[in-house]
Amino acid sequence: MKITAISLYRYDIPLKAPITISLGTIDSARNMLVQIQTDEGITGWGEGSPFWMIVGETQASGLAAARDMAKLLVGRDPLDIEGCLEALIRYLPGHPTTRSAFDMALYDVAAQAANMPLYRFLGGSKRELVTDETIYINTPERMVEDALRIKANGGEAVKIKLGTNRRDDIRRVEAIRKAIGDDIPVRTDANQGWDVVTASAVLKAIGDLNVEYCEQPVRRHDIRGLRQVRQASPVPIMADESLFDAVDAIRLVREEAVDYFNIKLSKSGGILDALRIIGIAEAAATRCMIGCMSESRLGITAKAHLASARRNVTFYDLDAHFEHAIDPVVGGATYAGYHITLPDVPGLGATVDPAFVANCEKETFFSE
């Protein structure tokens, strides 16, 4: 099989409202699409969601890098996934989000060629997946309204964005717990917003409020601080921004810095490296979550396939598209409330509405 053409799309999706985390605010999902076409009539789709404040990529920088990446891959065998991705890394190290879009499209092609749903191609089975829903930083009163809405909709876990200051963050968690009762687990995410002292104080204050874990309480490179927080915290600690690749995973395990891993394709560079991280986590008895940036249901579907395929993945944060004002995806994972069902067709089982992509800026590269 040979790649005959690769198309790149500027994939802009409006949000219902701006969303805020400790690192900043976004008002739309400025993503990118990669479409790989082959000489056997198979087409694969991939999506990258460059959350600039975390990965250091933007849509513009990603598309610029993607042009060179596309030129490198046209004419190659798409079933040689590792070889294709190694070629991209050798030529242009970094750019994990951009690379993840190519990775996703390659896996879509390979699973279709094998006539398997992606979760089966990855060696897994269809499992029940239940996502949480995220409450973004706002006043405690407004965040309580969101929590009550999630509970009324049948939510089985709420994720609260924190990372501003000790007093306000404690008030947010206390107010939400009081409003929704004791039964629904609360998950927290500081997105690097605290120092060690603040993180320790907040987590001790909320430790008896049925908080399932706290993501990334301190700066991503402060592994020593992360370990200190974990040692003092009654709440389990999950690595997010400190975990990009397998090298990071080994360091976190060696330093005994966290209890859990949050794996996102836009950080890891795609499914191939995510599988390597999961393997390290399995060896270290560290449970994982598959999380998201601001992907549409196309990218979310790929993440759900990966989550279903690996039993060490026990937490699911697959709600990014809840914030989107439109859904341009055809097929893909479906939601009954917060319960996710994967498609059983070969590959991802998801594409983008042709009418939508017809209005997206596009550039195509052909093999000679």
pLDDT of residue 75: 97
Coil, strand or helix at 180: helix
pLDDT, tens digit (0-9, with 9 covering 90-100), for 267-282 = 999 999 999 999 999 9
pLDDT of residue 368: 76
Where does the pLDDT of residue 27 fall: very low under 50, low under 70, confident under 90, or very high at 90 and above? confident
Assess whether 267 carries a catalytic annotation: no
Mean pLDDT value of segment 300-313: 98
Give CA separation, 223 vs 191, 214, 287, in Å.
14, 15, 19
pLDDT of residue 357: 96
Comparing CA positions, the residue from 268, 205, 202, 14 lying closest to residue 215 is 202
pLDDT, tens digit (0-9, with 9 covering 90-100), for 115-166 = 999 999 999 999 999 999 999 999 999 999 999 999 999 999 999 999 999 9
Where does the pLDDT of residue 18 fall: very low under 50, low under 70, confident under 90, or very high at 90 and above? confident
Mean pLDDT value of segment 313-320: 98
Annotated catalytic residue, options 159, 161, 267, 303: 161
Comparing CA positions, the residue from 16, 11, 54 lying closest to residue 322 is 16
Annotated binding site: 189, 215, 240
119 with 60: CB under 8 angstroms? no
pLDDT of residue 102: 98
**Average pLDDT value for the chain:** 96
Comparing CA positions, the residue from 17, 68, 26, 74 lying closest to residue 49 is 26
pTM greater than the 0.85 cutoff: yes
Which domains, ranges and CATH numbers included, belong to the chain? 3-116+351-366 (3.30.390.10), 120-348 (3.20.20.120)
pLDDT, tens digit (0-9, with 9 covering 90-100), for 169-208 = 999 999 999 999 999 999 999 999 999 999 999 999 999 9
Annotated binding site for Mg(2+): 189, 215, 240
Distance CA 73, CA 77 (A): 8
Distance CA 50, CA 171 (A): 31
Where does the pLDDT of residue 51 fall: very low under 50, low under 70, confident under 90, or very high at 90 and above? confident
pLDDT of residue 143: 97
Annotated catalytic residue, options 264, 267, 303, 362: 264
pLDDT of residue 24: 83
Where does the pLDDT of residue 53 fall: very low under 50, low under 70, confident under 90, or very high at 90 and above? confident
Assess whether 159 carries a catalytic annotation: no
pLDDT, tens digit (0-9, with 9 covering 90-100), for 244-299 = 999 999 999 999 999 999 999 999 999 999 999 999 999 999 999 999 999 999 99
Mean pLDDT value of segment 358-363: 97
